[in-house]
Amino acid sequence: MRRRQFLFIVLALFILGALGELALSALENQYADGICTGLGLASLPPEARVLRLFHWVSRYDDRATESTRSVGPRGILTPRGIIEHPVYYREDCGAKVWLLGFLAQRVGLEARDLRLCDAQHRARHVVCEIRLDGRWAVFDPTVDLDFRRRDGSSATAEDLRDPALLAENAARAPAYRLSRWQFDHPERLHFEKIPFVGGSLRQFAARVTGRPAEELSFPPVLERAHLVAAGGFVLLASLILIAMGWSGRRVRRGAGGREALPLPGHGFALQTTDQD
């Protein structure tokens, strides 16, 4: 009975944790949707929608009041956390890119992170790619730079491998660090963040998928930290229950391998194993 009670408590705690994470995710969505509604994005065509959202994210620091310029806690990124603590995240290019991508997805656009790495796969900077007219246009909310081709259309990461075109774009944003933030080695899934085995995972992923590792990216759902955490709670609870059930079966099998042999002249039995 105690075993069953313990299993029930473990399962209940993990279910409550998963429900809590799902509730936080719903609150994030509601908060982000309020921002998008306030910006009037629904009535705009996709490119205008992206530009308005991009400039709002890029220039939020300039509009923040002193009451919002406090240091925020570390942890899972949330729209509210980034917006309410802009000074804390100002130097974190990944936070602004994540916020832009999150809001873009809330208004029906595809978005993903792109890391600008050196030849040794060390990340130097992060920018955002948003799909427009079948092409992944590049935006840098850290320095308020929307990359353009010479004809004025949105530039892709492939376009920006051209050093001259990249330099022309960087000239529009004095804070852009041209010598370090280049597109020679862009990565959408940064394997090298995983210590020791990152390089091996890169090679394995390329062999399994048949695509260069630099082109691989997470499915959008895996970029939703609270949803992933909720799934992790459920998975961990399942593994614990499976492991405990498996160990219980082993104990029962061990007990089943014994037989009771009555001793002559006594009213009790001696337990002996098959090996005796």
Confidence (pLDDT) at 119: 92
Q: By C-alpha distance, which of 175, 178, 143 is closest to 160?
A: 178
Q: How do the domains of the chain map onto residue ranges?
A: 23-233
What is the per-residue pLDDT for 253?
61
pLDDT of res. 142? 92
**In 4-94, where do the E strands start and end?**
none
Candidate CATH numbers 3.40.190, 2.60.40, 1.10.510, 3.10.620; the one for domain 23-233: 3.10.620
The percent of residues in the chain predicted with pLDDT above 90, rounded, is 49
Distance CA 196, CA 47 (A): 41
Per-residue pLDDT band for 274 (boundaries 50, 70, 90) equals very low
**How far is residue 122's CA from residue 144's CA, in Å, rounded to a whole number?**
23
**Confidence bin at 80 (pLDDT 50/70/90):** confident
- The whole-chain average pLDDT of the chain stands at 81
Contacts of 136 by beta carbon, 8 Å cutoff, 6+ apart: 112, 129, 130, 156, 157
Residue 185 CA: distances (Å) to CA of 34, 78, 119, 159, 160? 37, 28, 6, 13, 11
Q: Is the pLDDT of residue 42 over 70?
A: yes
Confidence of residue 238 (pLDDT cuts 50, 70, 90): confident
Give the separation between CA 214 and CA 116, rounded to whole angstroms. 11
Query: Does pLDDT of 222 surpass 80?
Result: no
Q: How many CB atoms lie within 10 A of CB 271?
A: 10
Higher pLDDT pick, 217 / 270 = 217
Contact yes or no for 176/143 (Cβ under 8 A): yes
Q: Is the pLDDT assigned to residue 217 strictly greater than 80?
A: yes
* Three-state DSSP class for residue 78: coil
| pLDDT at position 201 over 50 | yes
pLDDT at 68 exceeding the cut of 60? no
Task: Give the H/E segment covering residue 272.
Answer: strand 269-273
The DSSP-derived string for 13-27 is: HHHHHHHHHHHHHHH
**87 against 137, higher pLDDT:** 137
Condensed to tens digits (0 to 9), the pLDDT of residues 240-251 reads 777 776 666 665
Question: For residue 260, what pLDDT is reported?
Answer: 46
What predicted TM-score, i.e. pTM, was given to this entire model?
Answer: 0.76
* Confidence grade of residue 105 (pLDDT, cut at 50, 70, 90): very high
The rounded percent of the chain whose pLDDT value lies above 70 is 76
Between residues 130 and 227, which one has the greater pLDDT? Answer: 130
pLDDT in tens, 111-165: 999 999 999 999 999 999 999 999 999 999 999 999 999 999 999 999 999 999 9
Q: What is the pLDDT of residue 261?
A: 46
